[in-house]
Chain A
């Protein structure tokens, strides 16, 4: 049953989106840089390696606990560059505004973008503004592109995971998705769940200083930790085993997930990095993470194995095993 119409789940970050990207975009724009399918492309100009990325933001609501669409756009783009080990430098920003958007809201969004850029040490160097009639967009969409410089000797890619590597994460999972969802649906808990949205370039620089041989860095945004690890397992041709009792989830996020029937493994993060590190460098990277404010709650959550290539398994709390699939269907549309 295919009506030939775009469905919401094709933008979910999960299986349907990957199929769309593979069958349409990657084949149409056919080139080896795109085919790498990392968060950023690595381009070489006169011996200098640059990382380049782009991202669009359609989060609803545009203001949520812990951030807004503007700060999120900067964090997201900075993070996509950082996930290759690049030092983010310049960002461009395109705004699509709906007629009737409150000027004060736009100002707030832009001010927090400016602050996020200052804090991350990047410059917003070009932009574009369009206004569409009321109802033709929803308040405000932002597209950002970013460019960064890649230090020599760094080779980080989703293809590099190897059996024996450890899987680390810098803190609790599912915070961003649940913060946005609870705000959107008007769900109130004892404390408001805060998004984890943050620029991770500082943390990642520290991790690379500790051990430059990190194999993979990925930010588990849409589709969550489960989907991101499945991508890595597929691209690297390895299996990944997670330990359920090691997965860090905040109590309020877990409670909200239980209530709504969601699995935190599939809920979006905007200030988290999954690091896949050879065993000999894992302790150094882990200590570096712990020493940074954005890595205080870092955990070792799993390991890379040679069996079951392309698949992710979870060793459950009670000692069983189960498959952890990529996100299928739309879990939460418009979360970023």
Chain B
């Protein structure tokens, strides 16, 4: 298989691990993999137990399902409960528990909740059901936002009036800043997300490096990518540098994908957004521009005030900020499991709790 096996080569991986063992610093270094896809890739490769003990990998807030605010989950559930509404979304979101239900349970009670692989599929559902309102629950970072913007442009071009999007999108660099400003975790470096960076470009992290002097390495998702990303971070730390480096050059440029960013900018504008476990971060979400508000589900439906009730023992917030690991949570494995999740980090395929549960002892 082209572009997969090459990046999983066992001999190269072992030599990279050897190299890391040789040059590991004598103090502990804390590296955050921001992206949930990295977290899962690290667990699946069994890499954690191969790294020297001084290198600590901390999972960050880069799982889109996990950082979706509880009130937004409740709003999505409310939308699914409205007569005649079809709610469409990406797979993992349906199982995330809200205050008293989940989209999954609403579906078994009769709500029309459909999982789609692409936003354009949601638009097609709207075209196939002209008498019904079709709402897409838009979650995700800079990677998914352009596809959603494209679907809205297409809906507008086709004159589809029964399609709208509930925008719970998030932007990553503001969250990185918020984590560093909070000073809860002392981070020595970031493994920056490969996919998001294809859109925003490696240059987007320059400001983090300049203002906070924390090394950033844009990294791919195969075992060799991640090992090399870690290695580049260690080199920077050891030589006292803080720079943006790009390990994932086969996909990411310094500038990113300007066409994709233009799509986002045409439909959305940055707005304050609430992150689960972190709180409201200025300009970290995407709201509809006024000329596109016709497609905004939050405008189309008169939503009630939401009072959120989270499971009292759930520590997803701390896990998302990297200040706690899942096994330190009192619910983990005891009452919280992928089958009966109490918080989003256990639900999502990319959630840190789910990764610990599924892949480690």
Q: Does B bind A?
A: yes
Chain B: residues with Cβ within 8 Å of the partner, total of: 37
Q: A254-B4, A317-B13 are in contact. Are A322 and B360 (CB under 8 A)?
A: yes
- Residues of B near A323 (CB, < 8 A) are 358-361
A1 & B102 in contact (Cβ 8 Å cutoff): yes
Which residue in chain A gives the minimum CB-CB distance to B358? Answer: A325
CB distance from A226 to the nearest CB of B (A): 10
Instruction: A3 to B361: give the CA distance in the assembly, Å.
Output: 31
- Residues of A near B45 (CB, < 8 A) are 316-318, 320, 322
Confirm or deny: B44 has a beta carbon within 8 angstroms of a beta carbon on chain A. Answer: yes
CB distance from A106 to the nearest CB of B (A): 26
Confirm or deny: A119 has a beta carbon within 8 angstroms of a beta carbon on chain B. Answer: no
Confirm or deny: B189 has a beta carbon within 8 angstroms of a beta carbon on chain A. Answer: no
CB distance from A297 to the nearest CB of B (A): 16
Q: A5-B105, A255-B1, A329-B338 are in contact. Are A319 and B50 (CB under 8 A)?
A: yes
Which residue in chain B gives the minimum CB-CB distance to A263? Answer: B44
- Residues of B near A6 (CB, < 8 A) are 108
- Residues of B near A258 (CB, < 8 A) are 4
Confirm or deny: A7 has a beta carbon within 8 angstroms of a beta carbon on chain B. Answer: yes
B338 & A328 in contact (Cβ 8 Å cutoff): yes
Q: A16-B339, A319-B10, A328-B337 are in contact. Are A3 and B108 (CB under 8 A)?
A: yes
A318 & B339 in contact (Cβ 8 Å cutoff): no
Which residue in chain B gives the minimum CB-CB distance to A185? Answer: B117
Which residue in chain B gives the minimum CB-CB distance to A258? Answer: B4
Interchain CB contact (< 8 A) of A317 among B8, B49, B340, B360: B8
Interchain CB contact (< 8 A) of A322 among B43, B95, B227: B43
CB distance from A191 to the nearest CB of B (A): 13
CB distance from B338 to the nearest CB of A (A): 4
Instruction: A7 to B102: give the CA distance in the assembly, Å.
Output: 12
CB distance from A258 to the nearest CB of B (A): 7
Q: A245-B10, A254-B1 are in contact. Are A320 and B48 (CB under 8 A)?
A: yes
Which residue in chain A gives the minimum CB-CB distance to B50? Answer: A320
Q: Which chain B residues in 111-153 approach chain A with CB under 8 Å? A: 117
Confirm or deny: A293 has a beta carbon within 8 angstroms of a beta carbon on chain B. Answer: no
Confirm or deny: A15 has a beta carbon within 8 angstroms of a beta carbon on chain B. Answer: yes
- Residues of B near A8 (CB, < 8 A) are 108
- Residues of A near B100 (CB, < 8 A) are 1
A318 & B13 in contact (Cβ 8 Å cutoff): yes
Q: A6-B108, A322-B44, A323-B360 are in contact. Are A317 and B1 (CB under 8 A)?
A: no
A1 & B101 in contact (Cβ 8 Å cutoff): yes
- Residues of A near B1 (CB, < 8 A) are 251, 254-255
CB distance from B90 to the nearest CB of A (A): 10
CB distance from A90 to the nearest CB of B (A): 38
- Residues of A near B95 (CB, < 8 A) are 329
CB distance from B97 to the nearest CB of A (A): 6
Instruction: A260 to B118: give the CA distance in the assembly, Å.
Output: 11
A1 & B117 in contact (Cβ 8 Å cutoff): no
Confirm or deny: A321 has a beta carbon within 8 angstroms of a beta carbon on chain B. Answer: yes
Instruction: A254 to B359: give the CA distance in the assembly, Å.
Output: 20
Instruction: A260 to B48: give the CA distance in the assembly, Å.
Output: 25
Which residue in chain B gives the minimum CB-CB distance to A327? Answer: B338
CB distance from A80 to the nearest CB of B (A): 26
Confirm or deny: A261 has a beta carbon within 8 angstroms of a beta carbon on chain B. Answer: yes
Interchain CB contact (< 8 A) of A320 among B49, B97, B337: B49
Confirm or deny: B46 has a beta carbon within 8 angstroms of a beta carbon on chain A. Answer: yes
- Residues of A near B50 (CB, < 8 A) are 318-320
A322 & B46 in contact (Cβ 8 Å cutoff): yes
Contact with A along B346-358 (1 / 0, CB 8 A): 0001000000011
Confirm or deny: B104 has a beta carbon within 8 angstroms of a beta carbon on chain A. Answer: yes
Interface core residue of A318, A319, A329 (most chain B CB under 10 Å):
A318
Confirm or deny: B27 has a beta carbon within 8 angstroms of a beta carbon on chain A. Answer: no
Instruction: A258 to B1: give the CA distance in the assembly, Å.
Output: 11
Instruction: A261 to B349: give the CA distance in the assembly, Å.
Output: 9
Confirm or deny: B157 has a beta carbon within 8 angstroms of a beta carbon on chain A. Answer: no
CB distance from B182 to the nearest CB of A (A): 31
- Residues of A near B358 (CB, < 8 A) are 323, 325, 328
Which residue in chain A gives the minimum CB-CB distance to B226? Answer: A318
- Residues of A near B13 (CB, < 8 A) are 317-319
- Residues of A near B361 (CB, < 8 A) are 323
Instruction: A316 to B337: give the CA distance in the assembly, Å.
Output: 24
Confirm or deny: B47 has a beta carbon within 8 angstroms of a beta carbon on chain A. Answer: yes
Interchain CB contact (< 8 A) of B109 among A5, A185, A245, A318: A5
Contact with B along A99-133 (1 / 0, CB 8 A): 00000000000000000000000000000000000
A1 & B46 in contact (Cβ 8 Å cutoff): no
CB distance from A328 to the nearest CB of B (A): 4
Confirm or deny: B17 has a beta carbon within 8 angstroms of a beta carbon on chain A. Answer: yes
- Residues of A near B285 (CB, < 8 A) are none
**5 smallest beta-carbon distances between A and B, as pairs:** A320-B46, A318-B13, A316-B46, A328-B338, A5-B108
Give the A-binding residues of B (Cβ under 8 A): 1, 4, 8, 10, 13-14, 17, 43-50, 95, 97, 100-102, 104-105, 108-109, 117, 223, 227, 337-340, 349, 357-361
| Complex A-B: 14 CB contacts under 8 Å | A1-B105, A3-B101, A3-B108, A5-B105, A8-B108, A254-B1, A317-B45, A318-B45, A318-B47, A318-B223, A320-B46, A320-B48, A323-B361, A329-B339
Give the B-binding residues of A (Cβ under 8 A): 1, 3, 5-9, 15-16, 185, 245, 251, 254-255, 258, 260-261, 314-323, 325, 328-329
Q: Given A317-B223, A318-B223, 5 other A-B contacts at CB below 8 A?
A: A1-B97, A251-B1, A317-B13, A318-B45, A323-B361
